[in-house]
Amino acid sequence: MKKKIIYSSLLTALLSASSCALAGGPEIIPLPDYFSGMYVGGIGGVHHNTFNGNSQVVLTQPSTAIGIIGLLPIAGIPAGTLYNSDIGGGEYDGFGGIQGGFGKVINQQFYVGIQGWGEWGSSSETDNQFASVPFTPINLIAVVITPVANASTSTTTKINNDYGVAAKLGWVVAPRSMIYGKIGASWADIEVDNSLNALASLDVSSPVIGTIINATTTAGTSSSSESTKLGLLLGIGFEQFVYQDIVSINVEGTYTNYGQVSSNGQVSGNTSLSILPALLPVLPTLNFPFTTNVFSGANTNVQVSTLMAGVNFYFGRSWL
């Protein structure tokens, strides 16, 4: 009797194993697919905007008239760069906006998706420069010629808002956790304002009678350039679900290079010339307004590094 019971148990076990084998083995339950689908959310973070470039004044043609930065009534200046100074700086400012996208998890491990965003905020950097041209007084037999020239510039670079689109490629390290990278394009409104003020004077004097001739030139210009620039964006981040399969949070860092922006303006001003009345008693002080072939310009490279966080709301993942 005991043998019959043992044989019956073995037969039952064999039949059960055969059934599992015929059915393809034990049933495998797939892990929840948290990240596949569409999402929208809000973002906020800190931007570090870096501006590096130069400000310059260029004489495009030689001049022999009284004019800007050392132009003398008796001698001219050859064409070339009269003033060139490096400018730059960095600012930290807060930005906020929205993001959204969709994607698909492949083999429960790899994520492929696309993301778009828009941010609102503003950041600016102003760089002020001053330069003085070192002249040595010229001592002749009876007169001393003293030229003086200096110039100051102010350059402000401003970046407003940004929006873009990027590929989002990730690795699901746990059912609810993912590390991802981003590569895409970002657009931002970038403005450059540049101004120049210059003073040049020439004094011809005699130790006996004082000033014989004085020529003073004041000049200035301002220019502004505003455009929407396209930059390459690279980033890396981490995303974690915090409420069921609906709400996630993400933290990411990005870097964007918008390239060079520039602004140029033509210089205009006025030269006043006075001569000792004893030499020309009927000649009053003369004024000569002018617009020269001198151009003031600023060129700035703009890079933005960002650290931000976001909250995402997922829906419609069954669509994929």
Burial environment of residue 272 by CB neighbours within 10 A (0 to 12, 13 to 18, 19 or more): middle
Q: What's the confidence (pLDDT) of residue 310?
A: 95
Q: How many CB atoms lie within 10 A of CB 230?
A: 13
pTM: 0.72
- State which amino acid sits at residue 161: N
**Is there a contact between 62 and 76 (Cβ–Cβ < 8 Å)?**
yes
- In the chain, alpha helices (H): 2-22
Q: What's the confidence (pLDDT) of residue 59?
A: 64
CA angle, residues 168, 173, 177, in degrees to nearest 5: 70
Q: What's the confidence (pLDDT) of residue 53?
A: 82
Q: Whose CA is closest to 250, among 163, 177, 306, 172? A: 177
Q: Sign of the CA dihedral 232, 181, 165, 50?
A: negative
**Is there a contact between 234 and 255 (Cβ–Cβ < 8 Å)?**
yes
Q: Measuring CA to CA, how many Å separate 28 from each of 2, 31, 107, 111, 202?
A: 37, 9, 14, 22, 93
- State which amino acid sits at residue 105: V
Helix (H, G, I), strand (E, B), or coil: what is residue 245?
A: coil
Q: Whose CA is closest to 117, among 101, 95, 98? A: 98
Task: List pLDDT tens digits, range 155-174.
Answer: 888 899 999 999 999 999 99
Q: What's the confidence (pLDDT) of residue 157?
A: 86
Q: Measuring CA to CA, how many Å separate 120 from each of 39, 61, 99, 117, 159?
A: 20, 44, 12, 10, 10
Six-digit token pair at 123? 């950041």
* d(C-alpha 54, C-alpha 129), whole Å: 10
* d(C-alpha 126, C-alpha 195), whole Å: 11
Task: List pLDDT tens digits, range 42-80.
Answer: 999 999 988 888 877 776 655 444 443 444 443 345 556
pLDDT one digit per residue (tens) for the chain, 320 residues? 444 444 455 445 444 544 444 445 444 445 567 899 999 999 999 999 888 888 777 766 554 444 434 444 433 455 566 667 777 777 888 999 999 999 999 988 999 999 999 999 988 888 887 877 666 666 767 777 777 777 788 888 889 999 999 999 999 999 999 999 999 999 999 988 888 887 777 778 887 777 777 777 777 778 888 889 999 999 999 999 999 889 999 999 999 999 888 887 777 777 777 777 666 565 566 666 656 666 677 778 889 999 999 999 998 554 44
What residues form DSSP beta bridges with 182? 168, 235
Q: Which residue has the tokens 């670079």?
A: 157
Six-digit token pair at 107? 């083999």
Q: What is the mean pLDDT of the chain?
A: 77
Q: Which residue has the tokens 């730059």?
A: 88
